[in-house]
Amino acid sequence: MIFITRRETFSASHRLYNPQLSEARNLELFDKCANPNGHGHNYVLEVTVAGEPQEETGYVIDMKRLKDIIRRELISKVDHKHLNHDVDFLKDVIPTSENIAKAFWNVLKDKLGDAHLHSIRLQETENNSVEYRG
């Protein structure tokens, strides 16, 4: 089994806020991440695909194809957007890294042909990242 990874970056804003809860509880849970007008991050996304090299090409997946799919399905939808308001597949979720990674997985999982989606790794800051494996 070979694992191959494509890295992409995007910039987006978000606000961590649960509308079911009181202002006080939101502040307690999310502190300054609940600021009404949001704040931004420079995200790093790593998509890892697993498979065996194909006989004809020697590729698990053509990296250019993988790049094009990630950019079309994910990056173009989130780059320079407000994740709470602008992204259809993040509607009604709190846009934590955890939830963004899960949503990215659900968007990508059926779009890779024979290659198998292995993980979505999302880095929100230099020190914080999450990884989702379905």
Q: Show which residues are catalytic.
A: 33, 80, 124
Task: Provide, for the chain, the percentages of residues in helix, strand and coil under a 3-state DSSP scheme, each rounded to the nearest 5.
Answer: 30, 30, 40
Fill in the amino acid letter for 64. K
Whose structure tokens read 């698990």?
Answer: 60
27-42 CB burial, b ≥16 within 10 A, e <16? eeebeebbeeebeebe
Contacts of 47 (CB under 8 A, 6+ apart): 5, 6, 8, 66, 70, 104, 108, 117, 119, 120, 121
